[in-house]
Amino acid sequence: MDAIIDLIPPKVAAYIPGLDTSAYVYATGADLINFEKRSLLISAASIVFNPLYWNILARNEYRKKPLQKIFGGSLGATYFFFVTIFSLGILRDFLYERALAEQPHWALLGHPGFKALALVLFGLGQLFVVTSIWALGLVGTYLGDYCGILMSERVTCFPFNVLEDPMYVGSAMAFLGTAIWCESAAGLALSALVWVVYAIALKYEGPFTSMIYEKDAEAKAKREAKEAKETKESKETQETKASVSTPSTPPRKSERLAEAAATAAAATPAAIDNGTATPRRRVAGRKSAIANETLAASPMRVTRSRSKARSEAEGSE
């Protein structure tokens, strides 16, 4: 029977009716945490390693995109993060429970009130984690924005309308609930380490993620401004071409002047051919008439007439 109890996790064994839990080792004071157990240090190392892994690798992916080159795009890199982060999370949880199983129990946490608190913490924590993944989706949860797949808008549904970082908070709550359920002081210490590591990670993740979306918004604004400018220039060019290709309508005054000039050009040759008095002919005719009148009335003409008459008279004599 003792062998069966050793195989059953304490959090399950504590609530099986009639099961003997006398094999549990309880401690007090400084003996509540056994630092000589390697499983405790390995669990602490995995808790610290996981956030470092995805933060360092994700930032490098955002700047240099090595995973996108290897896996052929943003989606392949995101799936790589999903597989590795999810697997490391399962390994971390396994190492955590193994470490608690090798640590002494704290009798104080065996109170039914603490057991109920453990259930509430674990249940709410898992609810926050699962609903966060559901709200963000696989790509949003596993660093798709670091791989170039950005969400179109901020997620405001549950649990993000209750907590700013529900996934980290929920995970820490689940760790704490497990520690209380297992009556482990070492589990409380590891849960505190989980929260400290997450808090530090958020100090770096939050601003960096905000920077990614701010840069994307600036790039979109520049693209829209450039497209609007190109559209405006294209429209102006089309309007200019249309105005050049369409002949302008001459004013009515110009039409009348052109018609008068054409009429005058057509009438002038005919007038000259018919002998009609043109302005130049009228001047010439007027000069001829004046010249005739002058000759008729001039003294020379009279004298010549008298001389001719005298010579005729003398000849007749």
Distances (CA, A) of 177 to 77, 87, 172, 217: 33, 22, 9, 40
The predicted structure's pLDDT at residue 298: 46
The predicted structure's pLDDT at residue 149: 94
Give the number of other Cβ atoms within 10 Å of residue 121's Cβ.
22
Query: What are 101-157's pLDDT values in tens digits?
Result: 999 999 999 899 999 999 999 999 999 999 999 999 999 999 999 999 999 888 989
The predicted structure's pLDDT at residue 299: 46
206 annotated among ligand-binding-site residues: yes
Residues 6+ away with beta carbon under 8 Å from 186: 32, 33, 34, 40, 99, 100, 103, 104, 179
* Higher pLDDT pick, 63 / 250: 63
Cβ–Cβ under 8 Å, residues 208 and 140 = no
Does pLDDT of 62 surpass 60?
A: yes
Does pLDDT of 5 surpass 80?
A: no
* Higher pLDDT pick, 85 / 261: 85
Cβ–Cβ under 8 Å, residues 56 and 209 = no
Cβ–Cβ under 8 Å, residues 177 and 125 = yes
Query: What are 179-214's pLDDT values in tens digits?
Result: 999 999 999 999 999 999 999 999 999 999 999 999
The predicted structure's pLDDT at residue 268: 55
193 annotated among ligand-binding-site residues: no
137 annotated among ligand-binding-site residues: no
SS3 165: coil
> In the predicted model, what is the mean pLDDT of the chain?
80
Position 166 confidence tier, pLDDT thresholds 50, 70, 90:
very high
125 annotated among ligand-binding-site residues: yes
Position 9 confidence tier, pLDDT thresholds 50, 70, 90:
low
144 annotated among ligand-binding-site residues: no
Position 15 confidence tier, pLDDT thresholds 50, 70, 90:
low
Does pLDDT of 300 surpass 60?
A: no
Considering Cα of 181, then 187, then 188, then 194, what sign does the dihedral take? negative
Q: Which of 125-129, 244-248, 307-311 has the lowest mean pLDDT?
A: 307-311
Does pLDDT of 277 surpass 70?
A: no
Share of the chain above pLDDT 70, in %: 70
The predicted structure's pLDDT at residue 310: 44
